[in-house]
Structure 1
């Protein structure tokens, strides 16, 4: 566990999302998640700041609108790592020298369990209502199962209501819809950094909403108890900083468990953050997509929906999806729970563009209601495999003398590679990232998460034993300055073949 030296407390800087530094992906979204570098030949300095970001494209010769050109720019400028990976993807039999992906946050440990469950006969049903237009909020039978599921696993003090549930095709759609219906164009959400950088696109592309960063430090200050700790004082400073620049902040985004740090907010912290938002009449979007991926029971994870009292229920909106906790990023299933009926109705209207097929809604309802399978088969085995994989990668990093943060939740370690940067610059961070990619291992670099300090990387451990072993061998080779070898060296520690 990484424990930095204490330093004097200092105010966090506030900045606005820069299109040149974010990862482009689809929400928690999917295998299209990309924390990869952008082509910075053409920057968009005004994209989240004052001014019209489309102006720089006005003279371009293209059939696209200026807005379309900005949207295309997002796609074009974030492809390097992901495109390279898919052109040379590792396959044990067909391409054993291909790239190992330790950059995309997907759980690849439980396909065997999921394929067996999803192939059972109760999942296969076709009837007219499933092939016709549904209620855009989601079929009533599915919203009822989602409400029961969240009530149980979030330990809600009172049963949650199906009418407060909206079903969409993934977390990216939830973010996009909420940003569009909660904010005017040019307004902002506060978000602590480092954070899952794809949210930048999710809130901007449809809603033209920006992000005001609450920068957190790795050094433990006088008021902190852990690295990268969020406090109400830091939120207040960031809010005032945004206001001083003439930016109207409409809400706060919290990720719990946190991506990429892997830690969880305590119930006391959650109440403090929600209280801050209530005082300033801010909406709070709480992303709980990793809530069932807490494999260290001692963390005592608590959902916002499990709190006894919410300071402002009408401005508290909770999202969850099956992409992470059930390893189904390709199925595209996300949910929103909000007690604000106007918000639910507005988001449901956008579900015309973000809805799910009736057949998938039926399957998801069957899965969520199967409490016996979830509790007795899936969750215990998933947590066991996550913990074993986490133990292996942690051991490899310790053997290398590499500091890292790990909160016992999620699929990732937040790894401190600052000592491998000769000058401690963002350029040097990219040089190291490309050295990893050249050595056939894809990682996510810290700038993609708007980390304040160059040299931090996110390493995914939720993968099969043989791929983890090979990926860590290649990572070790880069850090030890060794050249590419024909055969990979034996690992320091075996993660176990049970994955």
Structure 2
């Protein structure tokens, strides 16, 4: 829950936003309150479920504007775990007692394949046109390849169009750009929570756009329901709640496959969510950054672009990037597909600040057109290694008696450590997280994803076997020690862990 002042001109005595994020994919908020400098003791009111990390500072830096101080505060407050990890990274030879990172969602399983492919001669061509300004939407040759790539892998019923493609440097920039061009300052997106917490900053820092949380919980209420299931009823309740507080909602953000749950929306569910958005004239931003990282063949993933007819194509905007599916988070390539040419043009204008170099555009075009390598070499090996890594970590969690979601997509497992906490509070969650970090293993805690139930953690498994083994050994050491403390408390001795699911 973020704190919202009654009037934007009034300074806050507390501000709420990112703190120890536990090694998320990028900067993100954990929603924990922090004391901040203020020139007034004016008390703010709290707006439940609306992410709005606004704050004013009087003593942080005399060199910065008020906006600059907020931006700096996000940086200063964020990523305690990630910064600690970088100061003490595990290395088998140089630092065997360093921190194992099971918190950052990166795919490190096929870096050898990618290095060889990106080093081949067709990737290294330098033409004069690549060294000059291009269309801000991206070079036409790349947009054509993106359209063909998405048509094939999203199983679009009709070929997608290059003029509906915009390329830029990653999904973080895409979220920022879409927030800027779709919303006025102070307006909001609905987002199911738990969610990838860095989106808080992506939509807020440039555009002062809020997030309205659609809270999901682990309770299973019927035979046809699952833990953390999104429903239209929950969307309606969250929208009505925002409207009653005077917050104008302009859109809905969906992540499919979902981060951190690994959940996958069925075509029927997708259509229900899109119909809900159409009824309320909301934009829908669909983040499909893990679409090729569905490693369980029994899982029937469908892209939103595979639907025969979108309920409101002018308000449906689809994102994809190479950072996850191709394990290239450092390359910074993302793409938007939207039939709305006004939106495409507005986002393209912002690509002046978020564009790709011509050399990277050439490399991406070469990679995306190489369907033989993708289908016959990369995807089979990547999926096999993801399956093996997932099987190992899930087996270790079962041996520990830790409930978790078993979804078959993404790089992570959403695990329930509540029985290892003496009390069901976010303070206890943070204490457990610090115990992991003290024992040299970095995880991501649930509050960083705005999970409303303390005790859920995300474990990333997309790493080499020797690091996973050592990381899980350290997790086991912490949990066994913590469980002994919890067993000593009569109130926790016989308590069954809630939400046991596999």
For normalisation by structure 1, the TM-score amounts to: 0.89
Instruction: Flag the 1:78–1:22 CA change in 2: closer, same or farther, 3 A.
Output: closer
Shift of 1:138: 0.3
Give the 5 Å matches for 1:57-206: 57-58=57-58, 61-206=61-206
Match for residue 364 of structure 1? 364
Match for residue 436 of structure 1? 436
Deviation per residue, 1:179-213 (Å, 9 max, x gap) = 00000000000000000000000000011100000
Give me the whole-angstrom Cα distance separating, in 1, the residues matched to 2:172 and 2:368.
21
Asked if structure 2 preserves the Cα contact closer than 8 Å seen for 1:24 and 1:198, the reply is no
Higher relative contact order (CA 8 A, sep 6+): 1
Shift of 1:423: 1.1
Give me the whole-angstrom Cα distance separating, in 1, the residues matched to 2:51 and 2:461.
41
Structure 2 gap ranges (5+): 6-14, 39-43, 484-502
Give the 5 Å matches for 1:16-415: 19-21=16-18, 32=26, 40-42=34-36, 56-58=56-58, 61-222=61-222, 225-415=225-415
Deviation per residue, 1:210-253 (Å, 9 max, x gap) = 00000011001248510000000110011000000000000000
Deviation per residue, 1:245-291 (Å, 9 max, x gap) = 00000000000000000110000000000000000000000000000
Asked if structure 1 preserves the Cα contact closer than 8 Å seen for 2:51 and 2:212, the reply is no
1:155 is paired with a residue of what secondary structure? coil
Give me the whole-angstrom Cα distance separating, in 2, the residues matched to 1:351 and 1:217.
38
CA root-mean-square deviation:
2.6
Asked if structure 2 preserves the Cα contact closer than 8 Å seen for 1:14 and 1:212, the reply is no
1:57 is paired with a residue of what secondary structure? coil
Instruction: Flag the 1:64–1:295 CA change in 2: closer, same or farther, 3 A.
Output: same
Give me the whole-angstrom Cα distance separating, in 2, the residues matched to 1:325 and 1:55.
36
1:219 is paired with a residue of what secondary structure? coil
Asked if structure 2 preserves the Cα contact closer than 8 Å seen for 1:322 and 1:333, the reply is yes
Give me the whole-angstrom Cα distance separating, in 1, the residues matched to 2:314 and 2:228.
29
Asked if structure 2 preserves the Cα contact closer than 8 Å seen for 1:411 and 1:461, the reply is yes
Instruction: Flag the 1:132–1:464 CA change in 2: closer, same or farther, 3 A.
Output: same
1:85 is paired with a residue of what secondary structure? helix
Shift of 1:406: 2.1
Structure 1 gap ranges (5+): 1-12, 484-499
Asked if structure 2 preserves the Cα contact closer than 8 Å seen for 1:171 and 1:321, the reply is yes
Match for residue 473 of structure 2? 473
2:409 is paired with a residue of what secondary structure? coil
